[in-house]
Amino acid sequence: METLKAIFSRRSIRNFLHRPLEPEKVELLLKAAMQAPSAMNEQPWQFVVIDERLLFEKIMQSTPFAGMLKTAPLAILVCGDLRLERAPGNWVLDCAAATENLLLAASGLGLGATWVGIYPEADRMEALAALLELPPEVRPLALVAVGYGAALPQEHPQRFDAKRVHLNRWSRPFEVRRGGPPC
């Protein structure tokens, strides 16, 4: 799938078909996530692939907004491993980039996915760390539910808002000029 098409067509999917994911697609999702940029190329991520229904139930009890796990066949927890950091504090940025790559890859593979925020909510982080037996140096950032969507996502309006873009200084609005230089 063309990159821009994936970006503009991707939607959060919260209802999934009762259909397992092929192992090759799971591997591609993880490979795409690990192609994300990271500070100093440190790649401080770790991933926990979850497919146990009992764990899904426990996660839904401890994590608000994870209701899509009722029908999801799979979830991937994206974590930052502080032991791998050379640029302290950047694990959040690096793992967010990995999460976005994972979401775009899911869209490109014809899958649906939803990002459930875990970090910086201490109660969610602690609950998932305990449920999934994470080492103390590993911090959960995001949980991504993945599967074949039960329905096609509806298009939503374009989100671009020129009022939120500034040129060189806050006081100068950015304007898209047609037929000339970009600014």
pLDDT tens digits for 72-112?
999 999 999 999 999 999 999 999 999 999 999 999 999 99
Q: Is the pLDDT score of 159 beyond 80?
A: yes
For residues 17 and 106, what is the distance between their CA atoms, to the nearest angstrom? Answer: 15
Q: What band does 3 get if pLDDT is binned at 50, 70 and 90?
A: confident
Q: Is the pLDDT score of 37 beyond 60?
A: yes
Is the separation of the CB atoms in 98 and 34 below 8 Å? yes
Per-residue tokens: 84:
């791998």
Segment 152-169 mean pLDDT: 86
- From the candidate CATH numbers 3.50.50.60, 3.90.700.10, 3.40.109.10, 1.10.3720.10, the one assigned to the domain spanning 3-154: 3.40.109.10
Q: Is the pLDDT score of 66 beyond 90?
A: yes
pLDDT at 180: 59
Per-residue tokens: 90:
């950047």
pLDDT, the chain, mean: 94
Q: Which of 29-33, 107-111, 124-128 has the lowest mean pLDDT?
A: 107-111
Domain boundaries, the chain: 3-154
